[in-house]
Structure 1
Amino acid sequence: MSAPWLDSMPSTWRQIALQYLATVGTGSKDTVNAVEDGEHPFIVRSAEPLAIDTFTFDTEAILTAGDGAVGEIFHHIKGKFDAHQRVYVIHDFQGIDGRYLYWYFSSEFRRAVSYGGAQTTVASLRRSMFTTFPVAVPPPNVQRLIADFLDRETREIDVMIGKLDGLADQLRTLHRTNLVALGHQLCSPGPSARVGLLLTKRSRAVRPDDGVVTAFRDGQVALRSRRREKGFTMSFSEAGYQGVEPGDFVFHGLDGFAGAVGVSEDRGKVSPVYHVCTATPLASERFMAWALRALAANGFLEAYAFSVRQRSVDFRNWATFAGLPITYIPLDEQVRLADRLDEVTEKIDAMLAKVAELKALLIERRTALITDVVTGRKEVA
């Protein structure tokens, strides 16, 4: 397998195929063999190992998924363990430091596979992709220096990434806390109104150039193409599709209990499972979107669905949805609450975006650092 990115490695380094440095095999177990609180690690095709009471291996090894998240998940382990039958196990190292090989392999394997003629999103791996995998092999002392350096440097970066993840969790919790607080207010004793008194259902015509609009669980209602979500299903029949205008209140009849409700940002069309509404003179579309998301966040929508004897959380029937009771808040107060929630959410989202940007930069720095070191472009001491 050609490795053009190793053409400039130091002259004291060698390029050797993996089959001459280690044994490549696979596990023999299946996920049904996992045992809760088992004695040994059970490496499967996911980032988190399971547990098992048996062990096939008692050694130092590098493991990676043979299908699924190919080139994304790597483990370095020492001691007794077992492995899934579709997990590749690289062990019995010869003339190569296991920690160094882990850093090199986890950094360069996916790129090496793509140079070997496979797609970078290859669905499964063959043993030959491993045996011919080209490894940059520095002198033994340099291997140990590189392993020590990367252990130390990546640990520091991972700590920073962990702190950013913690901050993001706090921000998301703050957002949910605001929703739950509003939900409690809307379920508290006081003058109440049914949703059907506050919202008017619309049946807009679909236009030939309309794209599909989706209500996402984070409260955004927008053209599906803008989010480029994978894995969604499309109906072969568009019977019953409805037109949507910017500013319309949009509620997903099956997924609204999980937060799939909001005010549309785009013009387009939605499937029959949605309710497309405008507010009556008693309400605000923006507030009603916040109100229904709040009622979803504190579990009221789910509880209400079961209280009306539905077998699932199903609000596709307009009468069921229109019958939802909420504590009525005067229109001027609705607008004030919606303005405040919009403002707070905008600030939280801006902070989350900044956290995500910083995390991406750290991950990029981590990836580049490993690649530079294991290919000899950066010297460590």
Structure 2
Amino acid sequence: MCRIRTGKIDANEADVDGLYPFFTCAVGTLRINTPAFDTKAILVAGNGDLNVKYYEGKFNAYQRTYVIESRDEANALPMFLYAFLDLYVGELRKLAIGGVIKYIKLPYLTEAVVPLPAISAQRSFVARLKSAERIRTSLNASSGQSAALFASLQDRAFRGAL
């Protein structure tokens, strides 16, 4: 159902002015000038935070970041797989091993049982997921704007500039 690979380079390859996203195990995304992938991918951090991201297009990945692709989009939509893995990451965190920096092993991903409803149900779910993501993005932007406005008003009020 899925093809699972890892990136091949170290995090120090990042370039702040890079042209492409560079996915590492960090929550944030870095930049890089050389893409190694051009696909629809679910990216799972293999150590540390164990976060899950989705990306379509050219990018590169850190050596401990799993790059997961659907082998058959007629039966398994990449965004549907992303939604499953975003939920399954809680289980991965329970399975993670190691001392200070926890990590997962490839079998934790390859042996996951992914429920796959009919493709029509997956499409419907993905459409709703995208709609919810747009709303969340809009709310986050509004929240940021509200916080900036409040900080500005607060600053002006305490300087006596209102």
Larger RCO, structures 1/2 (Cα 8 Å, 6+ apart) = 2
* 1:223-238 equivalence runs, <5 A: none
For 2:25, the equivalent position in structure 1 comes to 45
Deviation per CA, 1:230-286: give whole Å up to 9, x if none.
Answer: xxxxxxxxxxxxxxxxxxxxxxxxxxxxxxxxxxxxxxxxxxxxxxxxxxxxxxxxx
Q: Distance in 2 between matches of 1:23 and 1:113?
A: 18
Q: Distance in 2 between matches of 1:62 and 1:82?
A: 12
Indicate yes or no: 2:135 matched with 1:163.
Answer: no
Distance 1:167 1:66, change over 3 A: same
Indicate yes or no: 2:60 matched with 1:82.
Answer: yes
Aligned with 2:40 (options 45, 53, 60):
60
Residue 139 of structure 1 deviates from its aligned partner by 0.6
Residue 176 of structure 1 deviates from its aligned partner by 4.1
* 1:1-381 equivalence runs, <5 A: 21-70=1-50, 73-94=51-72, 95-106=75-86, 108-113=87-92, 117-118=95-96, 123-178=102-157, 181=159
**Which residues of structure 2 form unaligned runs of 5+?**
none
Q: Which amino acid aligns with 1:56?
A: A
Aligned partners of 1:62 and 1:75 also within 8 Å = yes
Aligned partners of 2:20 and 2:32 also within 8 Å = yes
Question: Please, what TM-score do these two structures have when normalized by structure 2?
Answer: 0.80
The secondary structure found in structure 1 opposite 2:48 is coil
Residue 177 of structure 1 deviates from its aligned partner by 4.3
Deviation per CA, 1:334-369: give whole Å up to 9, x if none.
Answer: xxxxxxxxxxxxxxxxxxxxxxxxxxxxxxxxxxxx
Q: Which amino acid aligns with 1:49?
A: T
The secondary structure found in structure 1 opposite 2:114 is strand
Aligned partners of 2:70 and 2:77 also within 8 Å = no
The secondary structure found in structure 2 opposite 1:24 is strand
Question: Higher Cα Rg: structure 1 or 2?
Answer: 1
Deviation per CA, 1:67-122: give whole Å up to 9, x if none.
Answer: 2222xx3221222211111211112433310111112211x12233256x458xx8
Distance 1:124 1:156, change over 3 A: same
The secondary structure found in structure 1 opposite 2:4 is strand
Same amino acid, percent of matched pairs? 26
Aligned partners of 1:112 and 1:133 also within 8 Å = no
Aligned partners of 1:25 and 1:90 also within 8 Å = yes
Q: Distance in 2 between matches of 1:105 and 1:92?
A: 13
Aligned partners of 1:33 and 1:52 also within 8 Å = yes
**Which residues of structure 1 form unaligned runs of 5+?**
1-20, 183-381
Q: Distance in 2 between matches of 1:129 and 1:102?
A: 16
Residue 52 of structure 1 deviates from its aligned partner by 1.8
The secondary structure found in structure 2 opposite 1:130 is helix
Q: Distance in 2 between matches of 1:160 and 1:140?
A: 30
Q: Distance in 1 between matches of 2:60 and 2:93?
A: 29
Aligned partners of 2:23 and 2:65 also within 8 Å = yes
Deviation per CA, 1:9-34: give whole Å up to 9, x if none.
Answer: xxxxxxxxxxxx21222111122212
Number of matched pairs: 155
Aligned partners of 2:77 and 2:122 also within 8 Å = yes
Q: Which amino acid aligns with 2:20?
A: H
Aligned partners of 1:112 and 1:134 also within 8 Å = no
Q: Which amino acid aligns with 1:135?
A: V
Q: Which amino acid aligns with 1:91?
A: E
Distance 1:53 1:47, change over 3 A: same
Question: Please, what TM-score do these two structures have when normalized by structure 1?
Answer: 0.37
Cα RMSD of the aligned pairs, angstroms, is 2.4
Distance 1:161 1:22, change over 3 A: same
